[in-house]
Structure 1
Amino acid sequence: MTVLIVEDERTLARELGIFLHNQNFACTVARTAAEARWQLADTPFDFVLLDLGLPDGDGLDVLAEAKQNELAAAVIILTARSAVEDRIGGLELGADDYLAKPFSLPELLARMHAITRRRFGLHKPTVPVGAFSLDLQNRRLLHAGQEVGLSVKEYDVLSYLVLNKNRVLTRLQLTEHIWGNLSEAGFDSNYIDAHIKNLRKKLGQHADTDWLETVRGLGYRVRV
């Protein structure tokens, strides 16, 4: 998944980026309100980690403007502000959660996982798909209780399709979700096609994969 880190403290932004990268998130950093606005207008992120005290403006104003522009990303406010009014203001503007600084990185990750489950209507971290089950918390695909060996990117493609079950995702949507912002000129649909081919080969050794559909001229869909 892709994450926009809106944070002007360089050390914290770097720590967040390293931690989330190690959890297989694709991260982009914005250190000002202006840069955050530009990134949000340009890229469809999955998460926004938003500091409120930015050098050129208030993070709440960035959030309000983004929501007016129909921001789809989940937003977690990360701030040193302790006033209840700020927390209420952020949540009422559409933030999904709020963490006061200093905070634990594992707690942040747990909250991101919880938001993902809520957004996709999941009641537990394991999702059945065909004869398989997807363990979202531990990033594993299981068949008959045994792990099916997938590469990091193969898992990312499959999990995003599963989370968006019964919805057609284009190759560009899948590519941006996994690799982050790509210009149209740099887009190559072969990236996704190769991963889908590998997934079908690996999964097909265990069970049918009829649920992993190619929608000609559009993209791919997991049908359940």
Structure 2
Amino acid sequence: MKILIIEDEKALAESMATYLSAEQYFCEFAETFDDAMYKAETFHYDCILLDLMLPGGDGMKILEALKADNKEDGVIIISAKGALEDKIRGLQIGADDYLSKPFHLPELAARIHSLIRRKSFGNNNLFRQNELTIDLLAKTVTVNDAKVVLTKKEYELLLYFISNKNRVVSKTALAEHLSGDVAGILDNYDFLYAHIKNLKKKLTEAGADNYLKTIYGTGYKWQS
């Protein structure tokens, strides 16, 4: 799961990233309004943590731009501006949640988990598809009740495929999800192919059906 941290307080941004990385989230940063606007409009994120007071502009305008573009990224506003009207305005524009500074990092992680669970997994902590079960809280995968050990990248890929089930996901989108905005400068997709191959092999050897289909020339699709 990929997170964009839009925050100009470097120490706070780094502390959030350190904590969330330990929770198996991939974190990117944006410190200015222009950088945040570019990343939010160009790439897809499972959750955007949005500070309202940024060098160069108002964070609320980023939220407005995302909603005008019909982007489905989850947004949690994180701001020292605790006025009721700011919370109401952000939620009315389309933010999913609002967290006032200062806050505890476990609460932030819980809010992110709740948002992603609600948006991608029907508000459930368990995803089941026939013999396959994913426990989102324990971050475990089982096939026929036997545990399948996945690397962090393989687990991220699996969740990304399932959250986009029955949709064709391009190789570019997958590369960006795993590697962030550096994906555009990579020479090839060999690293992506290796992760997908290993994921499919582990699931198949454990007894799972082949739900992950290759759409030649386009990308991949998880069939439910």
Q: TM-score, normalised by structure 2?
A: 0.91
2:38 aligned residue = 38
User: Deviation string for 1:53-76 (max 9, x for gaps)?
Assistant: 223322212222332233331110
Q: 1:185 to 1:7 in 2, by over 3 A?
A: closer
Q: Residue 181 of structure 1: SS of its match in structure 2? A: helix
User: Deviation string for 1:175-204 (max 9, x for gaps)?
Assistant: 111221134341522222222221222222
Q: What are the within-5 Å matches in structure 2 for residues 159-198 of structure 1? A: 159-186=159-186, 188-198=188-198
- Is 1:53 the equivalent of 2:50? no
1:78 aligned residue = 78
Contact 2:143 2:208 in 1 (8 A): no
Q: Percent identity among equivalent residues?
A: 38
Contact 2:76 2:99 in 1 (8 A): yes
CA separation in 2, counterparts of 1:13 and 1:71? 23
Q: Residue 137 of structure 1: SS of its match in structure 2? A: coil
Contact 1:5 1:28 in 2 (8 A): yes
Residue 137 of structure 1 aligns to which amino acid in structure 2?
Answer: L
Worse-matched range after superposition: 54-63 or 127-136: 54-63
Query: CA offset at residue 127 of structure 1?
Result: 0.6
Q: Residue 94 of structure 2: SS of its match in structure 1? A: coil
Contact 1:200 1:209 in 2 (8 A): no
Q: TM-score, normalised by structure 1?
A: 0.91
User: Deviation string for 1:14-51 (max 9, x for gaps)?
Assistant: 11121122222222222221221122233222221111
CA separation in 2, counterparts of 1:45 and 1:187? 23
CA separation in 2, counterparts of 1:178 and 1:163? 15
Q: Which runs of 5+ in 1 are unaligned?
A: none
Query: CA offset at residue 153 of structure 1?
Result: 0.9
Q: What are the within-5 Å matches in structure 2 for residues 87-98 of structure 1? A: 87-98=87-98
Worse-matched range after superposition: 114-123 or 5-14: 114-123
User: Deviation string for 1:110-144 (max 9, x for gaps)?
Assistant: 11111112212523211113411011222211123
2:109 aligned residue = 109
1:217 aligned residue = 217
CA separation in 1, counterparts of 2:39 and 2:165? 27
- Tell me how many residue pairs correspond in the alignment: 224
